[in-house]
Amino acid sequence: MSGFGIFTDAEHARRLADVKGRMEKGGFDLIVCQDPANMCWLTGYDGWSFYVPQCVLVHLEEERPIWFGRAQDAKSARMTTGLPERNVVPFSERLVQQPLEHPYDELAELIRARGWANARIGVEMDAHYYTARCHAHLTRGLPGARFANNHDLVNWARLVKSDAELALIRDAGAICSHAMKRGIEKMRPGVPQNHVIAEIYHAQIMGLPGVGGDYAAICPLVPVGEGTSTPHLTWSDAPLPDNGLAIIEIAGVRHRYHAALTRTVHFGKPPQAMVDMAKTIVAGVDAGLELAKPGKTAEEVEAAWQAVLRKNGLKKESRVGYPVGLAYPPDWGERTASLRPGDTTKMLPGMCFHFMAGVWLDDFGISISESFVITERGGERLCDVPRELIVID
């Protein structure tokens, strides 16, 4: 169970102090956090309740965050957060999917009742679950407040992981390695794709001895054949081919902390061009990870990868990496830094990225990615699966 049973009170206090410092710098008295990963990171709250409006409030003058959510989920907050009763505030059940009224009407009432009606309020305009309707009802209920996008303030605070977080991410990497290997072992010509996925899900959730797995923020992605020319296809019940490519992208998860990985397999003897392309991708990742040290920038890491691709006649126009860690559906990325040109974010020890090393051509693609953590020695891989085009005869 997530919450204060995993992280110490001192760690949560450090997180809150960091966020309040960022709020002061950004000119906010109050922030409204609806990203479920931010809610969990700030309070430990963990529940499948993000399909309804909910949030965590942080006010500069409030000692602890405030959880606001559906009445039915209030006990989940009490069980997972350790927040005082005063800071667990449920909204009325009658407001769930109500066509006229909205839960954020009662959130506005709560903010007024705490004396913050004229506050400078930062909201998560890019959070997946902060809807246009949430914003409309909140601003209408607080006409005296000044609203602004907080530009993923809490997401940026999460970028450098603590030692306790890194321990969970390394566990996630071990689970991911195990699940990937089990999936590849199951992949044989004629085996239905969904049978492979079932094997992966079983391995993801069972985890390893003493290290149980959690559900991933993204389901397994398994494009096959020409489908490998685009990265985000899921599976069907069609049989795997006698000849051709398939890609698996999955994550291992431990207490909501993710380590993601992709591998590409070829059924039958692969064309030499595909073997060479896979070798180039692996070499590009090696170059990027060698450079991924404290003080280097995100764009410098990407440039090292891109140089290897260009030398071998390839290119990747999309970003090649993004931060990973604590996550909920629909995405395991943190929506902050990106390994791409123009991103000058400096690498710091404890940052974790998914090096999404894939090249997609018109008729096929190959992806051999790595999740890694920034260390003084460069990027430390979090998973251990052969780094090559995997051939299945």
In the chain, what's the furthest Cα-to-Cα distance? Answer: 70
3-state helix, strand and coil shares in percent for the chain, rounded to the nearest 5 = 35, 25, 40
Give the position of tokens 């309020």: 121
Topology classification of domain 9-157: Creatine Amidinohydrolase; Chain A, domain 1 (3.40.350)
Contact present, 216 and 332 (Cβ < 8 Å): yes
Output the CA–CA distances (angstroms, integers) from residue 82 to 8, 44, 49, 206, 232, in the order listed.
Answer: 11, 8, 18, 28, 38
Q: What is the pLDDT of residues 284-329, one digit of tens each?
A: 999 999 999 999 999 999 999 999 999 999 999 999 999 999 999 9
d(CA 348, CA 373): 9
Residue 1 predicted with pLDDT over 60: no
Q: What is the pLDDT of residues 18-35, one digit of tens each?
A: 999 999 999 999 999 999
d(CA 251, CA 322): 14
H-assigned helices in 292-334: 298-311
Query: So where are the chain's domains?
Result: 9-157, 163-392
Q: What is the pLDDT of residues 317-367, one digit of tens each?
A: 999 999 999 999 999 999 999 999 999 999 999 999 999 999 999 999 999
Give pTM, 2 decimals.
Answer: 0.96
Contact present, 146 and 111 (Cβ < 8 Å): no
Looking at the domain that runs over 163-392, which CATH code has it been given?
A: 3.90.230.10
CA angle 281, 286, 291 (to 5 degrees): 130
